[in-house]
A = this chain, B = another copy of it.
Amino acid sequence: MTTYTANPALDLVLERTVDVAPEQVWRAWTTPELLMQWFAPKPWSTTACEIDLQPGGRFDTTMRSPEGEEYPSSGCILVAEEGRTLVFTSGLGPGFRPQVSEDGFPFTAVIKIEPHGDGTKYTAIAIHADASAKKSHEEMGFHEGWGAALDQLVEVMKAG
Residues of A in contact with B (beta carbons under 8 Å apart): 1-2, 4, 10, 54-57, 78-79, 87, 89-92, 95-100, 105-108, 110, 127-130, 133
A–B Cβ pairs within 8 angstroms, 14 of them: A2-B56, A55-B78, A55-B79, A56-B78, A78-B96, A89-B96, A92-B108, A96-B108, A96-B127, A97-B127, A97-B129, A98-B129, A100-B106, A100-B129
Copies of this protein in the assembly total: 2
Residues of B close to A90: CB separation below 8 A: 98
Measured CB to CB, the closest approach of chain B to A1, in angstroms, equals 7
Task: Tell me how far the C-beta of A76 lies from the nearest C-beta in chain B, rounded to whole angstroms.
Answer: 9
Name A97's contact: one of B2, B99, B100, B108 (CB within 8 Å): B108
In the bound complex, residues from chain B placing their C-beta under 8 Å from that of A105 are: 98
Q: Give Cα distance in the complex from A128 to B54, angstroms.
A: 20
